[in-house]
Protein backbone atom coordinates (compact mmCIF):
# COMPACT_ATOMS: atom_id res chain seq x y z
CA UNK A 1 0.00 0.00 0.00
CA UNK A 2 1.35 3.43 -0.95
CA UNK A 3 1.55 5.97 1.85
CA UNK A 4 -0.42 9.20 1.64
CA UNK A 5 1.63 12.22 0.58
CA UNK A 6 2.28 15.55 2.20
CA UNK A 7 0.09 17.11 -0.48
CA UNK A 8 -2.75 14.77 0.54
CA UNK A 9 -2.37 15.87 4.16
CA UNK A 10 -2.41 19.57 3.35
CA UNK A 11 -5.43 19.10 1.10
CA UNK A 12 -7.32 17.46 3.98
CA UNK A 13 -6.06 20.13 6.36
CA UNK A 14 -7.21 22.95 4.09
CA UNK A 15 -10.57 21.41 3.25
CA UNK A 16 -12.02 21.03 6.78
CA UNK A 17 -14.68 18.90 5.11
CA UNK A 18 -15.27 15.84 7.37
CA UNK A 19 -15.81 13.57 4.35
CA UNK A 20 -12.53 14.66 2.75
CA UNK A 21 -10.66 14.18 6.01
CA UNK A 22 -12.18 10.73 6.55
CA UNK A 23 -11.19 9.70 3.03
CA UNK A 24 -7.67 10.89 3.77
CA UNK A 25 -7.54 8.84 6.98
CA UNK A 26 -8.92 5.78 5.20
CA UNK A 27 -6.08 6.01 2.67
CA UNK A 28 -3.30 6.00 5.28
CA UNK A 29 -1.07 2.93 5.39
CA UNK A 30 -0.77 2.09 9.09
CA UNK A 31 2.28 -0.08 8.38
CA UNK A 32 3.15 -2.42 11.26
CA UNK A 33 0.31 -0.99 13.38
CA UNK A 34 -2.27 -2.03 10.81
CA UNK A 35 -2.83 -5.49 12.26
CA UNK A 36 -3.92 -3.95 15.58
CA UNK A 37 -6.27 -1.24 14.29
CA UNK A 38 -9.82 -1.86 13.09
CA UNK A 39 -10.34 1.60 11.63
CA UNK A 40 -9.63 5.31 12.01
CA UNK A 41 -12.55 7.62 12.67
CA UNK A 42 -12.60 11.36 12.09
CA UNK A 43 -14.49 12.95 14.98
CA UNK A 44 -16.09 16.36 14.47
CA UNK A 45 -15.37 17.84 17.88
CA UNK A 46 -13.70 21.24 17.81
CA UNK A 47 -13.68 21.36 21.61
CA UNK A 48 -11.64 18.18 22.02
CA UNK A 49 -8.45 18.84 23.97
CA UNK A 50 -6.57 15.99 22.34
CA UNK A 51 -5.54 15.41 18.75
CA UNK A 52 -6.01 11.63 18.67
CA UNK A 53 -6.83 8.75 20.98
CA UNK A 54 -7.01 5.01 20.79
CA UNK A 55 -9.50 2.46 22.04
CA UNK A 56 -12.55 4.62 22.74
CA UNK A 57 -11.51 5.11 26.34
CA UNK A 58 -14.60 7.21 27.02
CA UNK A 59 -16.79 4.12 26.49
CA UNK A 60 -15.70 1.90 29.37
CA UNK A 61 -17.91 -1.12 28.75
CA UNK A 62 -17.10 -1.16 25.05
CA UNK A 63 -13.39 -0.91 25.73
CA UNK A 64 -13.45 -3.58 28.44
CA UNK A 65 -15.33 -6.15 26.35
CA UNK A 66 -13.24 -5.37 23.26
CA UNK A 67 -9.88 -5.84 24.93
CA UNK A 68 -10.81 -9.14 26.57
CA UNK A 69 -12.63 -10.59 23.58
CA UNK A 70 -11.48 -14.15 22.74
CA UNK A 71 -12.03 -13.22 19.08
CA UNK A 72 -8.82 -11.51 18.09
CA UNK A 73 -10.24 -9.29 15.30
CA UNK A 74 -12.59 -7.76 17.87
CA UNK A 75 -9.62 -6.79 20.03
CA UNK A 76 -8.44 -4.39 17.36
CA UNK A 77 -8.66 -0.73 18.30
CA UNK A 78 -10.43 2.24 16.81
CA UNK A 79 -8.30 5.36 16.60
CA UNK A 80 -10.13 8.67 16.74
CA UNK A 81 -8.68 11.76 15.08
CA UNK A 82 -9.95 15.21 16.06
CA UNK A 83 -9.83 18.54 14.17
CA UNK A 84 -6.95 19.85 16.27
CA UNK A 85 -4.69 17.22 14.68
CA UNK A 86 -5.00 19.08 11.38
CA UNK A 87 -4.08 22.42 12.97
CA UNK A 88 -0.84 21.95 14.87
CA UNK A 89 1.04 19.08 13.22
CA UNK A 90 3.40 18.83 10.32
CA UNK A 91 2.69 16.02 7.85
CA UNK A 92 5.55 14.00 9.30
CA UNK A 93 4.49 14.44 12.91
CA UNK A 94 0.86 13.67 12.05
CA UNK A 95 1.91 10.23 10.78
CA UNK A 96 4.23 9.81 13.77
CA UNK A 97 1.43 10.41 16.26
CA UNK A 98 -1.12 8.33 14.35
CA UNK A 99 0.99 5.31 13.39
CA UNK A 100 3.86 5.22 15.86
CA UNK A 101 2.10 6.54 18.99
CA UNK A 102 -1.60 5.67 18.77
CA UNK A 103 -0.75 2.57 16.74
CA UNK A 104 1.48 1.44 19.60
CA UNK A 105 -1.39 1.89 22.06
CA UNK A 106 -3.41 -0.37 19.77
CA UNK A 107 -0.59 -2.93 19.96
CA UNK A 108 -0.61 -2.64 23.76
CA UNK A 109 -4.34 -3.35 23.92
CA UNK A 110 -3.97 -6.29 21.55
CA UNK A 111 -0.84 -7.91 22.98
CA UNK A 112 -1.30 -6.96 26.65
CA UNK A 113 -5.09 -7.21 27.09
CA UNK A 114 -5.09 -8.05 30.81
CA UNK A 115 -3.18 -4.90 31.78
CA UNK A 116 -5.23 -2.77 29.39
CA UNK A 117 -8.44 -4.13 30.88
CA UNK A 118 -7.20 -3.40 34.40
CA UNK A 119 -6.29 0.12 33.35
CA UNK A 120 -9.76 0.60 31.89
CA UNK A 121 -11.26 -0.59 35.17
CA UNK A 122 -9.07 1.82 37.14
CA UNK A 123 -10.09 4.70 34.90
CA UNK A 124 -13.78 3.99 35.38
CA UNK A 125 -13.70 3.38 39.13
CA UNK A 126 -14.77 6.24 41.37
CA UNK A 127 -12.62 4.71 44.10
CA UNK A 128 -9.35 5.12 42.20
CA UNK A 129 -7.18 7.96 43.45
CA UNK A 130 -6.50 10.50 40.68
CA UNK A 131 -2.77 10.15 41.29
CA UNK A 132 -2.90 6.38 40.80
CA UNK A 133 -4.91 6.83 37.62
CA UNK A 134 -2.31 9.33 36.38
CA UNK A 135 0.47 6.90 37.26
CA UNK A 136 -1.08 4.02 35.30
CA UNK A 137 -1.90 6.16 32.28
CA UNK A 138 1.56 7.75 32.23
CA UNK A 139 3.19 4.31 32.28
CA UNK A 140 1.29 3.49 29.12
CA UNK A 141 2.52 6.66 27.43
CA UNK A 142 6.24 5.98 27.87
CA UNK A 143 6.47 3.10 25.33
CA UNK A 144 4.29 5.00 22.82
CA UNK A 145 6.50 8.09 23.02
CA UNK A 146 9.59 5.87 22.84
CA UNK A 147 8.25 4.23 19.70
CA UNK A 148 7.84 7.67 18.15
CA UNK A 149 11.39 8.57 19.05
CA UNK A 150 12.85 5.35 17.65
CA UNK A 151 11.08 6.00 14.34
CA UNK A 152 11.90 9.70 14.21
CA UNK A 153 14.50 9.27 11.47
CA UNK A 154 12.14 7.19 9.36
CA UNK A 155 9.47 9.89 9.70
CA UNK A 156 11.99 12.67 9.07
CA UNK A 157 10.88 14.51 12.20
CA UNK A 158 12.38 17.93 12.83
CA UNK A 159 14.90 18.46 15.60
CA UNK A 160 12.28 20.35 17.58
CA UNK A 161 9.79 17.48 17.24
CA UNK A 162 12.43 14.99 18.37
CA UNK A 163 13.47 17.18 21.32
CA UNK A 164 9.86 17.59 22.42
CA UNK A 165 9.41 13.81 22.35
CA UNK A 166 12.56 13.29 24.45
CA UNK A 167 11.34 15.92 26.93
CA UNK A 168 7.98 14.15 27.26
CA UNK A 169 9.65 10.78 27.86
CA UNK A 170 11.89 12.28 30.57
CA UNK A 171 8.93 14.07 32.14
CA UNK A 172 6.83 10.90 32.16
CA UNK A 173 9.66 8.90 33.69
CA UNK A 174 10.09 11.46 36.46
CA UNK A 175 6.35 11.46 37.10
CA UNK A 176 6.02 7.68 37.38
CA UNK A 177 9.08 7.54 39.64
CA UNK A 178 7.50 10.09 41.98
CA UNK A 179 4.13 8.36 42.01
CA UNK A 180 5.74 4.95 42.51
CA UNK A 181 7.51 6.23 45.60
CA UNK A 182 4.21 7.52 47.02
CA UNK A 183 2.30 4.30 46.32
CA UNK A 184 5.16 1.93 47.16
CA UNK A 185 5.22 0.44 43.67
CA UNK A 186 8.02 -0.75 41.42
CA UNK A 187 7.47 1.31 38.27
CA UNK A 188 9.85 -0.80 36.21
CA UNK A 189 7.89 -3.94 37.11
CA UNK A 190 4.62 -2.21 36.27
CA UNK A 191 6.06 -0.96 32.98
CA UNK A 192 7.27 -4.46 32.08
CA UNK A 193 3.65 -5.66 32.12
CA UNK A 194 2.68 -3.46 29.20
CA UNK A 195 5.80 -3.73 27.04
CA UNK A 196 5.01 -5.47 23.77
CA UNK A 197 6.66 -7.85 21.35
CA UNK A 198 8.41 -5.20 19.31
CA UNK A 199 12.08 -4.31 18.74
CA UNK A 200 11.51 -0.81 20.08
CA UNK A 201 10.07 -2.05 23.35
CA UNK A 202 13.07 -4.39 23.55
CA UNK A 203 15.33 -1.32 23.31
CA UNK A 204 13.32 0.34 26.08
CA UNK A 205 13.79 -2.76 28.25
CA UNK A 206 17.54 -2.56 27.67
CA UNK A 207 17.81 1.16 28.41
CA UNK A 208 15.74 0.98 31.59
CA UNK A 209 17.22 -2.32 32.75
CA UNK A 210 13.95 -4.23 32.62
CA UNK A 211 14.13 -8.02 32.39
In a domain, 52, yes or no: yes
Kindly tell me if the per-residue pLDDT of 65 is higher than 70: no
In a domain, 1, yes or no: no
pLDDT in tens, 71-95: 676 778 899 999 999 998 999 999 9
Segments forming the whole domain that contains residue 132: 6-208
Handedness of CA 70, 64, 120, 32 (dihedral sign): positive
Number of domains in the chain: 1
For residues 137-151, one letter each, b for 16 or more C-beta atoms within 10 angstroms of the residue's C-beta and e for the rest, the string is ebbbbbbbbbbbbbb
In a domain, 96, yes or no: yes
What pLDDT shows up at residue 66? 64
Higher pLDDT, 11 or 74: 11
In a domain, 110, yes or no: yes
* Helix, strand, or coil (residue 52): strand
Higher pLDDT, 62 or 151: 151
Amino acid sequence: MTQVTEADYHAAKKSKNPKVRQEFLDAIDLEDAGEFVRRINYEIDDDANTSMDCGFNYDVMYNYSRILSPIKPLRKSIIRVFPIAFKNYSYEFFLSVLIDHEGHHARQDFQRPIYSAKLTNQRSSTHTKPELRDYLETLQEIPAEWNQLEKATKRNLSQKERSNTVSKINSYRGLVSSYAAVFGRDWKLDLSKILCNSPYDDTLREVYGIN
